[in-house]
Structure 1
Amino acid sequence: MRETSMPRPRQCRYVAVAPHVTYFKPRGIPMTALEEVRLSVDELEALRLADLEGMTGSEAARCMRVSRHTFGRTLAAARHTVAQALCRGLALRIEGGTYAVADAGAAPASAKENTMQKIAISSEGPTLDDAVDPRFGRAGGFVILALPDMTPQYLDNGASQTMSMGAGIETAERMAREGVQVVLSGYVGPKAFEALTAAGIKVCQNVDGGSVREAVERFVKGELPFADAPNK
């Protein structure tokens, strides 16, 4: 009997405020004669940030605390729904979606949550000033920090570099054994991403290009969104 995999939980999107107006309809057409389309609250927020506030994809993704890829898909879906309503004369209902209202008077949730986590950064050396290794599975090693403590612990990953296959999965299992909660790296392949997700470990990708210290500082500030899919 073949086992069916459970669908991946949808990542929460953060919105500035809940909408006050939730229904739009063409004038002069009775409700009973109208078809309607649904725009989720997070899709409305994507429209607001991109098309009203004029934010770039990266800026808007940080506001919603999602990856740029996720924001792009959300925005595209929102624009398609609104185009349907306008071009076909449909009613537009705003409701639903996986979202939470951000507390504007508090520090970003990502920054608050990140201060109590054990994170691992793929690194080319054992110190905070070494460069981030752009590879995950075949990274030379990992600097591990239990925030807010900035005392680095180094985990050598040399054994995975010699593996012909399965390096990403083996490295993901090593992260789980170390009790890591978040991984910061450059490229995380599909199998490694799946293994990390199964272990409950969150992933921040495309982090290479600077030092480990810089990557940690960006993470604490909430500038690195959690990925919901592996790198393309």
Structure 2
Amino acid sequence: MPRPRHCRYVSATPSVTYFKPRGIPLTALEEVRLSVEELEALRLADLEDLTAIEAARRMRISRHTFGRTLAAARRTVAAALCRGLALRIEGGTYAVASAGQTAADKERKQMQKIAVSSEGPTLEDAVDPRFGRAGGFVVVDLPDMTTSYIDNGASQTMSMGAGIETAERMARAGVEVVLSGYVGPKAFEALTAAGIKVCQNVEGISVGEAVERFRKGELPFADGPNK
């Protein structure tokens, strides 16, 4: 069963939604469709010149999802220009991000227990980029930032199934969101089944910095495992 698509956030709905080659009647034209979120990806990357990470944050999606969306948009526009097709902009899975809180922002603020894969037991320790075989997890209870530590050493010694075992350990601890670097397919599926959100590609910073970036909305929820 395919995984449901997560909502992509766009700054506004497009004011112009149709383009056609000059001098050719509509009845003689084929057309291609560009979704609203694909147009937003083009705008952020090619007009605002944002990096993939910055643009993904704007749209509340993972960097990999943004890359796929942008690539699809560029293919569609290239087809319209090179083959002389009409271009219709409509549809997609999107919502307009208001000046206030988005649905994702509200959901984020309701989350109270965050687990960060860590190389040590404190907020000052570095994020461990591994999920399944992380040495442990610093669990942060918001909003007061009290911490506890979950040792994950038993999963490090497993030849198989470390990601699933670690995900089950998170579920037993009542964790609501995991911040880590790499989360594989089986681990991601187990976390999703337990209702735990995932923020990926978090590395090179301390646990405390990761939590602060999450609270600011700078770490999008992943809609699939790392590739």
**Conserved 8 A contact 1:115-1:147:** no
1:178 aligns to 2:209 (yes or no): no
- Cα 1:8–1:197 change in 2 (3 A) is same
Q: TM-score, normalised by structure 1?
A: 0.91
Give a deviation string over 1:58-97, Cα, whole Å, max 9, x none: 2111111111111111111111111111111111111111
Aligned residues between the structures: 226
**Match for 1:85: what amino acid?**
A
Aligned counterparts of 2:102 and 2:90: Cα–Cα separation in 1: 24
Question: CA contact under 8 A between 1:116 and 1:147: conserved in structure 2?
Answer: no
Matched, 1:106 2:132: no
The SS at the match of 2:166 is helix
Identical columns (%):
82
Do residues 189 (structure 1) and 184 (structure 2) align?
Answer: yes
Partner of 2:141: 146
In 1: Cα distance, 2:186 partner to 2:145 partner:
30
Q: Please show how residues 201-216 of structure 1 align to structure 2 within 5 Å.
A: 201-216=196-211
The aligned amino acid for 2:214 is F
Matched, 1:41 2:36: yes
- Contact map agreement 1:116 1:148 (CA 8 A) in 2: no
Q: Measure, in 2, the Cα distance between the counterparts of 1:198 and 1:7.
A: 14
Distance 1:206 1:43 in 2: 23
Shift of the alpha carbon at 1:39?
A: 0.3
Query: Does 1:132 find its partner at 2:127?
Result: yes
The residue identity in structure 1 corresponding to 2:57 is R
Equivalent runs, 1:45-84 vs 2, <5 Å: 45-84=40-79
Partner of residue 29, structure 1: 24
Confirm whether residue 224 of structure 1 aligns to residue 203 of structure 2: no
Q: Is the 8 A contact 1:143 1:155 kept in 2?
A: yes
Q: Which runs of 5+ in 2 are unaligned?
A: none
- The residue type paired with residue 40 of structure 1 is S
TM-score by length of 2: 0.93
Name 1:159's counterpart in structure 2. 154
Describe the SS at the equivalent of 1:85: helix
Equivalent pair of 1:108/1:222 in contact (CA under 8 Å): no
- Structure 1 stretches lacking a partner, 5+ long: 1-5
Q: State the distance in 1 between where 2:67 and 2:130 align.
A: 25
Cα RMSD over matched residues? Answer: 1.6
